[in-house]
């Protein structure tokens, strides 16, 4: 009887520990399965943000980087069309090119706060890389861009002056430094899967295998 009691106790403890793990991570965190395909790197010190049936894509990008402009304009739309609502995307500003002013990053963060982040992102990339306008600090140019995305310039500038956008930009930069970013764009999937090869085919392969792995559980 003593042996049976001990075994029952061990089983109860094991069950409790398993339940605690799922409770802690909301049932969303998972160990990356071996069957994932494509080229990627697992960041062991970063928690997974995976939710069943969905993949979260973080694009670390520099507004001054031509490769980021290319990926955002051509690569990202391919992925969004392929996976639809199963893919949640977000950009985090990361200054890979040194000596550039942070104003576009701050403008993007303020636009996100006001619900127009994606619109401002597209406008800033276009202004810097297609229109070749480097004077985004000029008040008249800034007002034109703010109005183009459908925001009130006065409210926007008040938000910029609050320092909140700059704080958010610094937080994103520290995140990128923590995971040792070497270049932009860098893609992070579900919080801890860093993709080595930034092209739509490889990204589609990794993302699809994450979704397929959900179906095998």
Burial of 209: CB neighbours in 10 Å, binned 0-12, 13-18, 19+? middle
Averaging pLDDT over each range in 17-21, 185-189, 195-199, which range is the top one? Answer: 185-189
Cβ atoms < 10 Å from Cβ of 23? 9
At residue 6, the pLDDT reads: 46
Contacts 24+ apart (CB under 8 A), 152-157: 155/114, 156/110, 156/111, 156/114
β-pairing, 55-61 vs 40-42, is: unpaired
DSSP letter, residue 93: E
The CA distance from 177 to 188, in Å, is: 13
What residues form DSSP beta bridges with 58? 90, 188
Confidence of residue 10 (pLDDT cuts 50, 70, 90): very low
Question: What single string gives the DSSP state of each residue in 183-199?
Answer: SSSEEEETTTEEESS-S
pLDDT, mean of residues 111-131: 96
Residue bearing the bigger pLDDT, 211 or 214: 211
Residue 150 CB neighbours (<10 A): 12
pLDDT of 108 strictly over 50: yes
Cα-based torsion angle of the residue sequence 19, 23, 27, 30 in order, rounded to the nearest 10 degrees: -80
Q: 53 or 7, which is more confident?
A: 53
pLDDT of 11 reads 40
pTM above 0.85, yes or no: no
- The tokens describing 86, both together, are 């199963």
Report pLDDT for 179: 95
Most confident among 14-18, 23-27, 108-112, 139-143 (mean pLDDT): 108-112
The predicted pLDDT at position 12 comes to: 38
Q: Are 93 and 62 a contacting pair, CB within 8 Å?
A: yes
Could you give the percent of the chain with pLDDT greater than 90? Answer: 71
Per the listing, tokens 């998972």 go with 30
pLDDT of residue 196: 73
For 24-82, the pLDDT digits (tens) are 333 344 455 557 899 999 999 999 999 999 999 999 999 999 999 999 999 999 999 99
């Amino acid at each position: 009887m003593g042996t049976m009691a001990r075994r029952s106790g061990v089983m109860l403890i094991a069950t409790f520990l398993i339940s605690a793990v799922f409770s802690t991570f909301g049932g969303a965190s998972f160990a990356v399965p071996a069957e994932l395909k494509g080229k990627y790197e697992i960041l062991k010190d970063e928690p997974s943000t995976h939710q069943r049936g969905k993949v979260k894509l973080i694009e670390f990008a520099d507004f001054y980087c031509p490769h980021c402009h290319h990926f955002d304009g051509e690569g990202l739309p391919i992925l969004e069309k392929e996976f639809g609502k199963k893919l949640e995307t977000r950009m985090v500003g990361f200054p890979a090119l040194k000596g550039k002013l942070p104003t576009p990053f701050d403008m993007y963060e303020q636009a996100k706060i006001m619900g127009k982040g994606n619109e401002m992102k597209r406008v800033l990339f276009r202004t810097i890389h297609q229109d070749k306008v480097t004077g985004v600090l000029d008040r008249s140019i800034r007002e034109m861009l703010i109005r183009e995305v459908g925001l009130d310039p006065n409210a926007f500038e008040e938000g910029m002056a609050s320092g909140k956008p700059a704080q958010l930009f610094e937080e994103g930069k520290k995140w990128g430094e923590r995971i040792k970013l070497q270049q932009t764009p860098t893609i992070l999937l579900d919080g801890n899967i860093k993709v080595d090869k930034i092209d739509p085919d490889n990204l589609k392969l990794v993302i699809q295998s994450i979704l397929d792995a959900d179906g095998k559980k």
